[in-house]
Amino acid sequence: MADPDYKLLDSRLSALIEGETDALANACNFVALLYSELPDVNWLGIYVLRGDELVLGPFQGKPACIRIPVGQGVCGTAAATRKTQRVADVNEFRGHIACDTASRSELVVPLFINDQVVGVLDIDSPSPDRFSAADQRGVEMLCANFCATKRRAHDFI
Protein backbone atom coordinates (compact mmCIF):
# COMPACT_ATOMS: atom_id res chain seq x y z
CA MET A 1 0.00 0.00 0.00
CA ALA A 2 1.43 3.37 -1.02
CA ASP A 3 1.68 6.05 1.62
CA PRO A 4 -0.80 8.91 1.19
CA ASP A 5 0.50 12.25 -0.06
CA TYR A 6 0.58 14.05 3.28
CA LYS A 7 1.72 17.34 1.76
CA LEU A 8 -1.33 17.32 -0.50
CA LEU A 9 -3.54 16.45 2.48
CA ASP A 10 -2.00 19.37 4.37
CA SER A 11 -2.86 21.73 1.49
CA ARG A 12 -6.41 20.40 1.40
CA LEU A 13 -6.72 20.80 5.17
CA SER A 14 -5.48 24.39 4.98
CA ALA A 15 -8.03 25.16 2.27
CA LEU A 16 -10.83 23.66 4.39
CA ILE A 17 -10.10 25.56 7.59
CA GLU A 18 -8.52 28.78 6.34
CA GLY A 19 -10.57 31.72 7.53
CA GLU A 20 -12.99 29.59 9.57
CA THR A 21 -12.97 30.53 13.24
CA ASP A 22 -15.27 27.83 14.61
CA ALA A 23 -12.98 25.31 16.30
CA LEU A 24 -15.54 22.50 16.33
CA ALA A 25 -16.31 22.87 12.61
CA ASN A 26 -12.59 22.82 11.81
CA ALA A 27 -12.00 19.74 13.97
CA CYS A 28 -14.91 17.95 12.28
CA ASN A 29 -13.52 18.71 8.82
CA PHE A 30 -10.00 17.68 9.89
CA VAL A 31 -11.29 14.29 11.05
CA ALA A 32 -13.55 13.81 8.01
CA LEU A 33 -10.75 14.65 5.58
CA LEU A 34 -8.34 12.17 7.13
CA TYR A 35 -10.96 9.44 7.44
CA SER A 36 -11.94 9.79 3.79
CA GLU A 37 -8.36 9.87 2.50
CA LEU A 38 -6.43 7.37 4.65
CA PRO A 39 -6.92 3.82 3.36
CA ASP A 40 -7.68 0.82 5.57
CA VAL A 41 -8.91 2.83 8.57
CA ASN A 42 -12.02 1.82 10.53
CA TRP A 43 -12.08 4.64 13.12
CA LEU A 44 -10.55 8.10 13.32
CA GLY A 45 -11.24 10.80 15.85
CA ILE A 46 -10.13 13.32 18.40
CA TYR A 47 -10.21 12.88 22.15
CA VAL A 48 -10.09 16.18 24.04
CA LEU A 49 -8.21 16.48 27.33
CA ARG A 50 -10.56 17.45 30.15
CA GLY A 51 -8.81 17.34 33.53
CA ASP A 52 -7.35 13.86 34.00
CA GLU A 53 -9.27 12.15 31.21
CA LEU A 54 -9.72 12.23 27.47
CA VAL A 55 -13.28 12.87 26.32
CA LEU A 56 -14.62 11.83 22.92
CA GLY A 57 -14.70 14.62 20.36
CA PRO A 58 -15.36 14.66 16.61
CA PHE A 59 -14.91 11.24 14.99
CA GLN A 60 -15.75 9.01 12.04
CA GLY A 61 -16.57 5.33 12.51
CA LYS A 62 -18.57 3.22 14.95
CA PRO A 63 -19.63 4.59 18.35
CA ALA A 64 -16.63 4.78 20.66
CA CYS A 65 -15.52 4.89 24.27
CA ILE A 66 -16.57 8.26 25.68
CA ARG A 67 -13.94 8.72 28.41
CA ILE A 68 -10.38 7.40 28.67
CA PRO A 69 -8.26 8.11 31.76
CA VAL A 70 -4.90 9.75 31.02
CA GLY A 71 -2.23 7.06 31.26
CA GLN A 72 -4.54 4.19 30.27
CA GLY A 73 -4.79 2.52 26.88
CA VAL A 74 -3.02 3.74 23.77
CA CYS A 75 -4.73 7.15 23.80
CA GLY A 76 -4.13 7.77 27.50
CA THR A 77 -0.50 6.72 27.14
CA ALA A 78 0.04 9.18 24.27
CA ALA A 79 -1.44 11.99 26.37
CA ALA A 80 0.58 11.07 29.48
CA THR A 81 3.92 10.62 27.71
CA ARG A 82 3.38 13.43 25.18
CA LYS A 83 4.62 10.99 22.52
CA THR A 84 3.03 9.39 19.49
CA GLN A 85 2.07 5.77 19.97
CA ARG A 86 2.33 3.60 16.84
CA VAL A 87 1.05 0.15 17.75
CA ALA A 88 1.42 -2.67 15.22
CA ASP A 89 -0.80 -5.09 17.19
CA VAL A 90 -3.17 -3.63 19.77
CA ASN A 91 -3.59 -7.06 21.35
CA GLU A 92 0.07 -6.86 22.39
CA PHE A 93 -0.32 -3.40 23.99
CA ARG A 94 -0.64 -3.81 27.73
CA GLY A 95 -3.82 -2.13 28.93
CA HIS A 96 -5.29 -1.61 25.46
CA ILE A 97 -8.88 -0.36 25.64
CA ALA A 98 -10.88 -2.10 22.91
CA CYS A 99 -13.66 0.22 21.78
CA ASP A 100 -13.98 -1.75 18.53
CA THR A 101 -12.82 -5.37 18.57
CA ALA A 102 -12.20 -5.18 14.80
CA SER A 103 -9.27 -2.79 15.33
CA ARG A 104 -5.86 -4.45 15.09
CA SER A 105 -3.39 -1.55 14.86
CA GLU A 106 -3.47 2.03 16.06
CA LEU A 107 -1.73 5.37 15.65
CA VAL A 108 -2.29 8.01 18.35
CA VAL A 109 -0.74 11.47 18.04
CA PRO A 110 -0.84 13.95 20.93
CA LEU A 111 -2.19 17.39 20.03
CA PHE A 112 -0.33 20.41 21.39
CA ILE A 113 -1.16 24.09 21.71
CA ASN A 114 1.60 26.24 23.22
CA ASP A 115 3.41 23.03 24.27
CA GLN A 116 0.36 21.94 26.28
CA VAL A 117 -1.37 18.63 25.44
CA VAL A 118 -4.98 19.44 24.57
CA GLY A 119 -6.01 16.05 23.22
CA VAL A 120 -5.04 13.23 20.89
CA LEU A 121 -5.85 12.16 17.35
CA ASP A 122 -6.64 8.44 17.34
CA ILE A 123 -6.58 6.34 14.16
CA ASP A 124 -7.52 2.64 14.15
CA SER A 125 -7.16 0.02 11.43
CA PRO A 126 -8.56 -3.50 11.11
CA SER A 127 -5.19 -4.58 9.65
CA PRO A 128 -2.16 -5.47 11.78
CA ASP A 129 0.88 -3.19 11.35
CA ARG A 130 -1.10 -0.78 9.15
CA PHE A 131 0.81 2.39 10.08
CA SER A 132 4.31 3.05 8.78
CA ALA A 133 6.93 5.49 10.03
CA ALA A 134 5.98 7.67 7.03
CA ASP A 135 2.34 7.62 8.18
CA GLN A 136 3.45 8.66 11.64
CA ARG A 137 5.51 11.58 10.32
CA GLY A 138 2.73 12.67 7.96
CA VAL A 139 -0.01 12.56 10.58
CA GLU A 140 2.21 14.32 13.13
CA MET A 141 2.79 17.11 10.57
CA LEU A 142 -0.95 17.42 9.89
CA CYS A 143 -1.72 17.54 13.62
CA ALA A 144 0.95 20.18 14.26
CA ASN A 145 -0.35 22.33 11.41
CA PHE A 146 -3.96 21.90 12.53
CA CYS A 147 -3.08 22.91 16.11
CA ALA A 148 -0.99 25.85 14.90
CA THR A 149 -4.23 27.54 13.86
CA LYS A 150 -5.18 27.79 17.55
CA ARG A 151 -3.65 30.43 19.83
CA ARG A 152 -4.76 29.18 23.24
CA ALA A 153 -5.54 25.74 24.61
CA HIS A 154 -9.11 26.72 25.47
CA ASP A 155 -9.62 27.59 21.78
CA PHE A 156 -9.13 23.93 20.84
CA ILE A 157 -12.70 22.58 20.92
Please write the tens of the pLDDT for every residue from 46-65. Answer: 999 999 999 999 999 999 99
Q: Which residues of the chain have pLDDT under 50?
A: none
Report pLDDT for 97: 81
Using the CB atoms, write b or e for 124-150: b if 16+ within 10 Å.
bbeeeebbeeebeebbbebbeebbebb
pTM: 0.94
What is the model's pLDDT at position 123? Answer: 98
State residue 116's pLDDT score: 94
Other CB atoms within 10 A of residue 79 CB: 28
- Quote the pLDDT of residue 149: 81
Domains of the chain (ranges, CATH numbers): 6-155 (3.30.450.40)
- Give the pLDDT confidence score for residue 150 in this predicted structure: 75
Give every strand in the sheet of 43-50, ordered side by side.
Answer: 67-69, 53-61, 43-50, 116-125, 105-113, 85-87
User: What is the per-residue pLDDT for 2?
Assistant: 66
pLDDT at 101: 81
